[in-house]
Amino acid sequence: MARYDLAVLNGTAVIPYTGAVRCDIGIREGRIAALADAIDPAQAADIVDARDRLVFPGAVDSHFHLGIYRSMSEDAESETRSALAGGVTTVVSYFRTGQHYLNKSGPYREIFPEVLAYTDGRAHTDYGFHVAIMTSQQLEEVDWLVRTQGVASFKYYMFYKGLNLTADSTRGSDYTMSDSYDLGHLYLFMQQVAAASQRYGDAGRISLSLHCEHAELIRIFIEEVKRTGPGGLEGYHKARPPLTERLSMAEAVILADASRCPVNLLHLSSREAVTAASEAKRDYPHLDVRLETTLHHLALTYATAGGMVGKVNPPIRTEDDRHALWEAVLDGRIDTVVSDHACCFEEQKGEDLWKALPGFGGTALLYPYLISEGHLRRGLPLTRIAELAGANSARAFALYPRKGTIAPGSDADLTIIDLDRELTVAPEVLQSAQDFTPFAGMKVRGWPMQTILRGRVVFDNGAVTGKAGGRYIRRPVAMHTEQPVAAG
Ligand SMILES: [Zn+2]
């Protein structure tokens, strides 16, 4: 009988925090069982030849929006296909009650099992959920979500403040379907997450992710841009300027300090935001603060993002902002790079800037874009790419070392990348249901030839193979998973 179910031979493994190592990888029962100088092909039931290729850990795209604008089941199916095409094997998706998603509110004890039911058996990657506590009733569900549902991370939207102010304040707004969504709610929310971190933090990080844009400043800047322009994406940038990221970040970080809540500052989009986030880390060295940026904020400016289709929150900004983000990626201040994938259709963008749905997909570009523009153009080490797109996200969101690395005992989630394969970005290349892409026309080099999920080749030579085999991963994994079977 073969010693390994699958062996990846002749490749160079890019191992986070370690380096690039020429080795063969033996896989048994979905996990990595051995890294060796050489594995005898006769010892493996199946073989992937990775000669002249790089073997990366499957990426962990930790900012995803399954089912925000389409049915959750459809998105789980089609958008995780797109993930595999770019070497992503785990997505961590945001979920909240209110408008979009399931378009309703209520206790998570009723709604979260529905979310799991809609996605069960649909996804091609493994997946988890960050949950946004939207109502005061949901506040007391934080502990239950961590302990019984495997939710290790949460979200608060700084810019929804005010959206709950309606004439009938007991009903809450149509959008958030919340009773009170403001800094008071955030403070209580942080206390809950900090308490869960105290209780369960030994098993993995419990944290709160923050979308930092300032509701009250956005209000006045939008009014000004509507009055005097400019139009288009430049107008959108000016309507939600970097100052709003900076001020809301300052508020959030003071509350994080008061509650000792571990936080993630999401999708930093500007020089001002990355400077403010770096200063927060300097001023509050005892706090656990992680910095995230997105592919589109690294890649695009309001002049190059293709017009209305490039509308996203926070907005795509200027060339100077893009450079500042790249500097922070290169010097190590940014911890994670994500896609913020939110599948929608060009027709949902429409002609009216203020009515267009924000967001778009990009998960298939995670490794290829970082390799092209990070490694090949700017000299970003491959090992750092494996950290930014995989290991750092896995650590931040309590998936490590089961996900995000190449080590005995870890899930055998791998992607085999050909550094010489160049493609021009178009919707077909990304294999998403989305019918457009703001990245269209970009030449990108370094694409996956195969992607392997828990020891099964699920993407091969440009196509997803087989049926959806992704599983919901309960986090922290050390708390919710049985110990791996000892390799030997
Ligand atoms: Zn998002």
pLDDT tens, position by position, 131-169: 999 999 999 999 999 999 999 999 999 988 866 544 444
Q: Is the pLDDT of residue 234 over 90?
A: yes
Residue with more model confidence, 39 or 1? 39
Angle at alpha carbon of residue 129, lines to 106 and 141, rounded to 5° = 40
Confidence at residue 487, expressed as pLDDT on a 0 to 100 scale: 40
Q: Is the pLDDT of residue 434 over 70?
A: yes
What's this model's pTM, rounded to 2 decimal places? 0.95
Q: Would you place residue 173 in the very low, low, confident or very high pLDDT band (cuts 50, 70, 90)?
A: low
How far is ligand 1, taken at its centre, from the CA of residue 25, in Å?
Answer: 35
How far is ligand 1, taken at its centre, from the CA of residue 363, in Å?
Answer: 12
How far is ligand 1, taken at its centre, from the CA of residue 18, in Å?
Answer: 30
Alpha helices in 213-293 (DSSP H): 215-228, 232-239, 242-259, 271-283
SS3 label, residue 347:
helix
Tell me how crowded residue 393 is: count the other CB atoms within 10 A of its CB.
28
How far is ligand 1, taken at its centre, from the CA of residue 140, in Å?
Answer: 24
Confidence at residue 482, expressed as pLDDT on a 0 to 100 scale: 64
Q: Would you place residue 176 in the very low, low, confident or very high pLDDT band (cuts 50, 70, 90)?
A: confident
From 17, 10, 59, 12, select the one nearest 383 (Cα to Cα): 17
Residue 164 burial by CB count (10 A; 0-12/13-18/19+): exposed, middle or buried?
buried
Confidence at residue 4, expressed as pLDDT on a 0 to 100 scale: 98
- Which residues touch 31 (CB under 8 Å, ≥6 apart)? 408, 409, 410, 411, 412, 454, 455, 484, 485, 487
Mean pLDDT confidence for 393-397: 98
How far is ligand 1, taken at its centre, from the CA of residue 241, in Å?
Answer: 18
Confidence at residue 169, expressed as pLDDT on a 0 to 100 scale: 45
Least confident of 5-9, 61-65, 307-311, 413-417: 307-311
Angle at alpha carbon of residue 428, lines to 47 and 449, rounded to 5° = 15
Query: What are the DSSP calls for 141-164, one per residue?
Result: GHHHHHHHH---EEEEEGGGTTTT
How far is ligand 1, taken at its centre, from the CA of residue 482, in Å?
Answer: 31
Q: Are 42 and 54 in contact (CB under 8 A)?
A: no
- Which residues touch 188 (CB under 8 Å, ≥6 apart)? 136, 139
Mean pLDDT confidence for 381-408: 98
How far is ligand 1, taken at its centre, from the CA of residue 128, in Å?
Answer: 15
Give the residue carrying structure tokens 């000299």.
379
Least confident of 214-228, 342-356, 419-433: 342-356
Q: Is the pLDDT of residue 483 over 70?
A: no
How far is ligand 1, taken at its centre, from the CA of residue 67, in Å?
Answer: 12
How far is ligand 1, taken at its centre, from the CA of residue 89, in Å?
Answer: 19
Q: Is the pLDDT of residue 473 over 50?
A: yes
How far is ligand 1, taken at its centre, from the CA of residue 64, in Å?
Answer: 6
140-143 CB contacts, 8 Å cutoff, 24+ apart: 140/192, 141/107, 141/108, 141/109, 142/189, 142/192, 142/193, 142/195, 142/196, 143/192, 143/195, 143/196, 143/199
How far is ligand 1, taken at its centre, from the CA of residue 238, in Å?
Answer: 20
> What letter would DSSP give residue 84?
H
Question: How many percent of the chain have pLDDT more than 90?
Answer: 91
How far is ligand 1, taken at its centre, from the CA of residue 7, in Å?
Answer: 36
